[in-house]
């Protein structure tokens, strides 16, 4: 074989593998028959590549369903069958026979105006072999492109994994995954939604329709698996969501992290390859695990902060109780009590009311404000001895105090002994004796007072210490 012949062979092969089989087939058929149509499938439809003779429509919707039913039992080489009544109505022309060349999704369909004879057999056999060779080449080419695409996706996933397992909060990690998905898959549209309980809020990505609370959008536990937005998945998505989301998106990926629920809505830039969907599922699964770990880490850190605050509060309570126990007089103890309550609660104002045996009544002892203790005076609730109480709570909201005192048979204390600004009362009870109470205004920080049990313990210990001081004074 000469160099020119070898070069011509290369050119011919390149032409055939590039799709030249069909033009050659059309030319050969034009020399042998009066009418023929060459068609190629696109999905479930057939589209005309070339035609000889009568004019035919450019496409035949749903024709592949008919052909697969007619040729279900045919196998091997080129296959020919006469058109039945349904086939003649489908192809809408006086055609006689249909021939299939090759197989699979790249099959070539030839419709003839007569039955193939012996003279046409070698032509169709050769065309069938060339179509199969061309299809094999296309399959290899598609496989190479698929592997290239998969290699890029895996590289993007590998690059993202170290960041995904960083100790980020779940909300930050969910937003980070938007960038990863956009870089990896290049979707036409990508939206991240967060379930806020009563509604969905767009956290990141493109604008788009919001789903209704149906199907997986209200489920409490779901695997992080991509779900195509198609009619076949209407039960999973909720029937109305298929119509609502179908035009804007192709697939939804749910991710749950504790009580946080995220939904990624994607519209593919091109038809997704199976390996792309698998990689998306892999990324969803890994990110879901990372979110769960980070949620546990957040919970652990919150518990540590709570324990640290509890430890600090217990330490402050211990020091306060030691200070109160060392007091020798009721006056100094009550002054210290106002200081301790003020420091531990950061209250804007603290009042102390105690029973005074000399007056035979309860009296306003003093108040603490602006970091200083000021003496006060004023008697009410005449009682020679402290009131006897049973099962009295150690604290209550100031708004409930008047009702509590009414149950004890007491009238409401005067305004100076329980101003409107007061938020909570801690009762000083020793055994069955109500020695008084401490009233607290809201904290200067605007938050709560801290550990309520510690403050109740402080009030109970203060009542015991106050009884001891008065007993020593007597």
In the chain, where the domains are located: 3-139, 165-297, 327-473
* 3-139 against 327-473: fold identical: yes
- Output the six-digit token pair for 89: 């109505």
Residue 46 has, within 13 A of its CA and on its CB side, a CA count of 24
| 110 pLDDT higher than 80 | yes
CA distance 155 to 180: 11
Cα gap 459→337, rounded to integer Å: 9
SS3 159: helix
pLDDT of residue 250 exceeding 70, the answer is yes
| 110 contacts 30 by C-beta, under 8 angstroms | no
* Alpha helix positions (H), 379-430: 398-407
Statement: residue 473 has pLDDT above 70: no
pLDDT tens-digit series, residues 390-410: 878 888 888 888 888 888 888
pLDDT above 80: residue 112:
yes
What CA–CA distances, in Å, run from 89 to 44, 85, 143, 236? 17, 6, 38, 39
Q: What is the pLDDT of residue 73?
A: 58
Question: Over 80: is that where the pLDDT of 431 sits?
Answer: yes
3-139 in CATH: which number? Answer: 3.30.450
Cα dihedral 421→424→430→436 (10° resolution): 10
User: Tell me, what's the pLDDT at 322?
Assistant: 72
> Which helix (H) or strand (E) segment is 455 a member of?
helix 452-473
Judge: domain 327-473, CATH 3.30.460.80.
no
**CATH assignment of 165-297, among 3.30.450.40, 3.30.360.10, 3.30.429.10, 3.30.9.10:** 3.30.450.40
Express as a percent the part of the chain with pLDDT over 90: 1
Residue 273 pLDDT level (bands cut at 50, 70, 90): low
pLDDT of 231 higher than 80: yes
3-30 residue pLDDT tens: 777 877 777 777 777 778 888 888 888 8
pLDDT at 35: 85
pTM over 0.85: no
The per-residue pLDDT for 74 is 59
Task: Give the DSSP H/E element, type plus range, for residue 129.
Answer: helix 121-164
Instruction: Supply the pLDDT for residue 470.
Output: 78
């Amino acid at each position: 074989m000469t160099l020119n012949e070898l070069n011509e062979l290369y050119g011919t092969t390149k032409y055939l593998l590039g799709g030249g089989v069909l033009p050659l087939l059309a030319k050969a058929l034009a020399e042998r028959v009066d009418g023929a149509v060459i068609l190629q499938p696109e999905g479930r439809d057939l589209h005309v590549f070339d035609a000889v003779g009568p004019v035919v429509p450019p496409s035949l919707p749903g024709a592949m369903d008919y052909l697969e039913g007619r040729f279900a039992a045919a196998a091997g080489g080129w296959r020919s069958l006469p058109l039945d009544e349904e086939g003649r109505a489908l192809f809408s022309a006086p055609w006689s026979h249909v021939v299939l060349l090759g197989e699979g999704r790249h099959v070539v369909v030839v419709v003839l105006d007569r039955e193939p004879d012996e003279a046409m057999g070698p032509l169709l056999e050769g065309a069938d072999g060339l179509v199969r060779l061309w299809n094999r080449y296309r399959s290899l080419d598609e496989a190479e492109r698929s592997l290239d695409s998969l290699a890029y996706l895996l590289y993007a996933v590998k690059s993202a994994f170290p960041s995904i397992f960083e100790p980020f909060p779940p909300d930050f990690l969910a937003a980070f995954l938007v960038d990863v998905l956009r870089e990896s898959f290049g979707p036409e549209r990508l939206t991240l939604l967060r379930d806020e309980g009563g509604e969905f809020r767009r956290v990141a990505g493109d604008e788009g329709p919001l789903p209704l609370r149906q199907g997986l959008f209200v489920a409490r536990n779901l695997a992080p698996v991509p779900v195509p937005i198609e009619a076949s998945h209407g039960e999973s998505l909720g029937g109305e969501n298929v119509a609502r989301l179908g035009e804007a998106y192709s697939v939804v990926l749910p991710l749950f992290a504790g009580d946080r629920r995220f939904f990624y809505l994607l519209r593919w830039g091109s038809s997704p390859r199976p390996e792309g969907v698998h990689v998306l599922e892999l990324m969803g699964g890994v990110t879901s695990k990372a979110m769960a770990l980070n949620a546990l880490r957040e919970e652990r850190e919150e518990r540590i902060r709570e324990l640290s605050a509890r430890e600090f509060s217990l330490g402050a309570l211990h020091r306060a109780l030691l200070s109160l126990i060392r007091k020798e007089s009721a006056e100094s103890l009550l002054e210290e009590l106002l200081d301790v309550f003020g420091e531990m609660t950061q209250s804007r104002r603290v009042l102390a009311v105690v029973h005074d045996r000399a007056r035979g009544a309860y009296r306003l002892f003093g108040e603490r404000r602006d970091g200083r203790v000021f003496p006060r005076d004023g008697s009410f609730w005449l009682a020679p001895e402290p009131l006897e109480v049973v099962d009295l709570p150690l604290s209550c909201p100031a708004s409930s105090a008047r009702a509590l005192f009414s149950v004890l048979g007491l009238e409401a204390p005067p305004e100076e002994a329980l101003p409107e600004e007061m938020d909570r009362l801690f009762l000083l009870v020793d055994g069955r004796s109500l020695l008084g109470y401490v009233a607290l205004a809201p904290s200067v920080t605007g938050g709560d007072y801290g550990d309520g049990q510690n403050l109740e313990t402080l009030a109970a210990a203060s009542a015991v210490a106050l009884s001891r001081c008065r007993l020593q004074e007597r």
